[in-house]
Amino acid sequence: MSLTSSPTRYGAVAIAIHWLTAVAILGMLASGLTAANTADQAIKLTLLRGHAIMGVVIGVLTLLRIVWFLAFDRRPADAAGLSRGQSLASHIVHYGLYAVILVMVASGVATLILSGGGAQLAGAAPLPLPDFTLTPPFTVHGLLARGLLVLLAGHIGAALWHQFVRRDRLLARMGLGS
């Protein structure tokens, strides 16, 4: 498999970035929701440390993906047989994912800085954690988390629809199958 994309398939670099990001996002959603629903400060702190680290990794991977496609590679052409509306929806979802991810990273970092919670995550201050809900960027972060879920549902739903309803083997473009 080539490092760069062909007209019909993503290259190894794009595929690796995609799946690493996907796994990290699942971890982020799980750790964020679990942290939000636990009262135990020590458990919440541990979860938030992992959440913050994964958030930075996801932000770096997303920026790397953008730079990769702008400077070194080109995306494959849209899947064959897409209507103009489907193609537009696909582009909106993909670019929406990038934008939501980057703003979520920024709002998460801003929440830690403005709340003072970064000191606890770094081990430089004792518990309890601050009330993150009092920090305006946290509201943005929470709203975007819901938006991310909607975009992911659309992205995953469309991929599964292509694979199992249209049977056009679209997932092979992203390294799953031939």
Sign of CA dihedral 51, 112, 139, 154: negative
pLDDT at res. 44: 96
Is-contact 52 113, C-beta < 8 A?
no
pTM of the complete model: 0.93
In the block, tokens 């849209």 appear at: 78
pLDDT at res. 169: 87
**Whose CA is closest to 132, among 21, 52, 29, 23?**
52
pLDDT at res. 55: 97
The topology (CATH level 3) of 12-174 is: Fumarate Reductase Cytochrome B subunit (1.20.950)
C-alpha count within 13 angstroms, C-beta hemisphere, residue 85: 0
Using 50 as the pLDDT threshold, list the residues of the chain that sit under it.
none
Cα separation, 149 vs 31, in Å, equals: 14
